[in-house]
Structures are given as C-alpha cells and as structure tokens.
Amino acid sequence: MSGYEIERKFLVHKDRDFKSRAYAQSRIKQGYIAAKGATVRVRMRDNQGYLTIKGPSSDGGLKRYEFEKEISPEEAEQLFKLCEPGIIDKTRYLVRSGSHVVEVDEFYGDNEGLVMAEIELASEDDHPELPDFIGPEVTGDKRFYNKQLRRYPYVIWRDTLPPEYR
C-alpha cells in the first residue's frame, strides 16, 4: 500500500467503554529504524510483519505520504535488531463509527495508561462521527506520535494531562 495517509488523533476518556464496542483487536509491537526526513517503522501485528515508511507530515500533522509492505514474521524479527531502543507495545481495538473505523490503541510498558484513538479520513474535508469515548484532539501534537513515545514515554509526562485521560 502506498499513498497519502490522512488521520486525526484523539485522547480517549478513561471511564467510557470502547472495548465492548470493538469488532476486532490485535497486539502490536513496533520499532523504528533511524532515518533522516522519514519515519521507518517495523511492526508485528499479531503474527504478520510490516515495513512502513512515512514522509514528513503536513497540514498540522493531518496528512503525510505512507508506503507499507507486508513482510514475513522472520524478516520483521531480523529488522527489529536494527531498530533504535524503545519498542512500542500496544493492543489496537477497531470500533465502527458511522462510515469510519476508529482505531483505539491501549499502550503498555513505559506508555502504560495512555489510550489514544485514530481515525483515517478519505480527505482533509472528511468529518467523521465521533463516538462518546473520544476526548480532545491531539493531531499534530508530537508527544503522541508513536516514534516520539519511544524516546519520551508517557510515564514521564502523564501528569500534564487531566485525570480523565490518564
């Protein structure tokens, strides 16, 4: 897959249920390979490997070019050896909301307690229905980029968020 990724990111209310609404879930482990001007990600999603390259974002973090290719689990495990320290570990829940799918990520390890939602859009003008568990938008806030969470994990700055989001 390649093309432009257009997505919005949100915090998730801690006291509102999203898990019972999920139609699927998967465990994700991902790492990052050092690259200048791009993000190179290695991911294992359940038992399938992926290599993803993302260009710099535009429109305040809303849009960026993305190339993704399936790779074997063995290839992914070999590429993890090239990743910078700090692996992201999370469970992703898929929740339907109108004509969109909300991807809710529950993080573990040094990012334990962070729950974030992403909604991929067809265009910048797309206005998805937001379920009631969606909190404030954090699109473009670099603290919430997975690559940044690897370097500057949530455990360090979690107290900067209101209690209903930590």
Which residues are catalytically annotated? 32
Q: Are the C-beta atoms of residues 16 and 133 closer than 8 Å to each other?
A: yes
For residues 58 and 64, what is the distance between their CA atoms, to the nearest angstrom?
6
| Burial class for 38, CB neighbours closer than 10 Å (0-12, 13-18, 19+) | middle
For residues 101 and 11, what is the distance between their CA atoms, to the nearest angstrom?
16
List CB contacts of 37: < 8 A, sequence separation 6 or more.
55, 56
HSE, side-chain direction, 13 A CA sphere, residue 48: 6
